[in-house]
């Protein structure tokens, strides 16, 4: 079929759509809904993927964690896991000395409602914040976790750690509540009833999906934490490498060092857990993949219904235009010409639905992001092309039977048709 014939077929298809606007609208409604759902959800998932990837990079794509407890709950091994020795500062020091691929090693103590059931509060004057997240850390903490960059003042110093000073670096969210119009540096807050000098403020960190972030964290010297809260024995060791390619080598070094340090028998399993950055990414990819699969199933059902509607309307169109088909065949049109004409009309019909669906999907995802900032959206060129391809595919698949039926009509019978 020549380019001129394609152009003429497309013009005829668009004229038919304009002439029967309401019927065309009802015909493509299923396609519009299907493509809209695909584009809207794909835009949100793409936006979330970009946000999550950026968040992981900021949190430390070169950092992995060593913990006593595994993620999730393994009830069969619960008693064995509960009896494991706690990680200590000595374990972290052993890693510093024996793991050459480890650039920074930080031991972190935790006290908050989520992990230990403890409730922390901080006060200044008449202002108070409850349920802040309290951490005890060493000087490597801010290098290990880029999200805890210091925006004002300083982080904890070696002297703070050695002398177990009562100093604290606060998240910006805490500072904005406690010191709405004051410079917080050098001021004394009451942290769980005890006086602490504010020496620094972390940079803004809004977190991910509304989860706790650096804005709600207060970090005190690790030695001070141990002195004040000896009952909180759970520790996390964070290890940062210089290059991402060094993660595997550093993991092997850390495992070997900790097994020797904690006197784990050669034949026994590790009494600690190592969590690499790709573990979190794999978890997120699994979640987003399930979301995409569910959306695909729902959209497929909608597109199937829409496609059946397109087939039905095209069969009606073939019946209505039987005389026209007879005239074209009498004038020399081939079966392939008739088939192509009706296929072009079906594809044009569904493509219009695809364009409308793309615009609606982009508008819906942008509106959702405007009202819910934790759900960012990004309409990628790939999904725009995919939306058009899906719509055109529906037109070809469901339009082929009516087009083939039109091509197979007998020209004499067509000319007799009224």
Take residue 231 and report the two structure tokens written for it: 């009952």
| pLDDT of amino acid 271 | 83
Residue with token string 């978890």: 283
Burial tier of 305 (Cβ tally within 10 Å: 0-12, 13-18, 19+): middle
Residues of the chain with pLDDT > 90: what percent?
A: 14
For residue 414, which of 312, 324, 299, 315 has the smallest C-alpha distance?
Answer: 324
| pLDDT of amino acid 196 | 95
Give ∠ CA 290-302-300 in degrees, rounded to 5: 45
Higher pLDDT, 208 or 400: 400
Q: Which of 177-181, 279-283, 331-335 has the lowest mean pLDDT?
A: 279-283
pTM (2 d.p.)? 0.64
Split at pLDDT 50, 70, 90, the class of 348 is: confident
Rank 240-254, 311-325, 394-408 by mean pLDDT and report only the highest.
240-254
Higher pLDDT, 333 or 65: 65
Q: Are 11 and 356 in contact (CB under 8 A)?
A: no
| pLDDT of amino acid 19 | 67
**Domain regions of the chain by residue span:** 3-56+282-416, 85-271
Q: Are 399 and 311 in contact (CB under 8 A)?
A: yes
Q: b/e map of 42-79 (b: 16 or more CB within 10 Å)? A: bbbbbbbeebbeebbeebbbbbbbbbbbeeeeeeeeee
Q: What is the pLDDT of residues 285-316, one digit of tens each?
A: 677 677 777 777 777 777 787 788 778 877 77
| pLDDT of amino acid 344 | 80
Q: Which of 44-48, 53-57, 173-177, 242-246 has the lowest mean pLDDT?
A: 53-57
| pLDDT of amino acid 297 | 78
Task: Tell me the pLDDT of the chain averaged across its residues.
Answer: 80
| pLDDT of amino acid 413 | 66
| pLDDT of amino acid 160 | 93
d(CA 87, CA 93): 11
| pLDDT of amino acid 13 | 64
Q: What is the pLDDT of residues 85-143, one digit of tens each?
A: 888 888 889 998 888 888 888 899 988 766 666 788 999 988 898 888 899 999 888 88
| pLDDT of amino acid 289 | 72
pLDDT exceeds 90 at position 195 = yes
């Amino acid at each position: 079929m020549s380019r001129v014939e394609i152009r003429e077929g497309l013009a005829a298809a668009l004229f038919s759509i304009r002439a029967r606007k309401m019927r065309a609208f009802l015909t493509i409604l299923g396609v519009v809904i299907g493509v809209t759902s695909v584009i809207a959800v794909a835009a949100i998932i793409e936006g979330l993927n970009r946000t999550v990837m950026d968040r992981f990079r900021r949190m430390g794509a070169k950092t992995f964690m060593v913990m006593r407890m595994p993620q999730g709950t393994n009830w069969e091994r619960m008693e064995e896991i509960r009896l494991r020795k706690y990680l200590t500062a000595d374990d972290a020091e052993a890693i510093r000395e024996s793991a050459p691929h480890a650039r920074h090693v930080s031991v972190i103590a935790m006290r908050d409602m989520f992990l230990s059931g403890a409730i922390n509060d901080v006060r200044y004057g008449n202002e108070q914040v409850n349920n802040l997240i309290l951490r005890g850390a060493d000087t490597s903490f801010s290098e290990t976790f880029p999200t805890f960059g210091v925006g004002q003042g300083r982080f904890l110093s070696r002297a703070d750690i050695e002398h177990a000073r009562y100093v604290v670096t606060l998240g910006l969210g805490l500072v904005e509540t406690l010191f709405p119009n004051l410079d917080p540096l050098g001021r004394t807050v009451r942290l769980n009833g005890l006086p602490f000098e504010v020496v620094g403020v972390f940079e803004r960190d809004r977190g991910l999906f509304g989860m706790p972030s650096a804005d709600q964290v207060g970090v005190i010297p690790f030695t001070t934490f141990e002195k004040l809260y000896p009952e909180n024995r759970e520790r996390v060791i964070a290890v940062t490498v210089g290059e991402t390619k060094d993660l595997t080598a550093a993991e092997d070094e850390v495992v070997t060092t900790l097994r020797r340090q904690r006197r784990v028998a050669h034949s026994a399993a590790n009494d600690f857990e190592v969590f690499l950055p790709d573990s979190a990414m794999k978890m997120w990819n699994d979640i987003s993949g399930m979301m995409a699969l569910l959306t695909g199933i729902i959209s497929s059902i909608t597109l199937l219904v829409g496609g059946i509607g397109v087939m039905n309307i095209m069969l009606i169109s073939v019946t209505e235009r039987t005389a026209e088909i007879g005239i074209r065949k009498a004038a020399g049109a081939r079966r392939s010409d008739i088939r192509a004409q009706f296929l072009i009309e079906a594809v044009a019909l569904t493509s219009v639905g695809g364009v409308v669906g793309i615009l609606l999907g982009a508008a819906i995802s942008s509106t959702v992001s405007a009202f819910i900032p934790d759900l960012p959206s990004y309409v990628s060129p790939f999904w725009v092309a995919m939306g058009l391809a899906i719509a055109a595919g529906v037109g070809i698949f469901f339009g082929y039977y009516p087009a083939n039926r039109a091509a197979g009509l007998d020209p004499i019978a067509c000319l007799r048709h009224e």
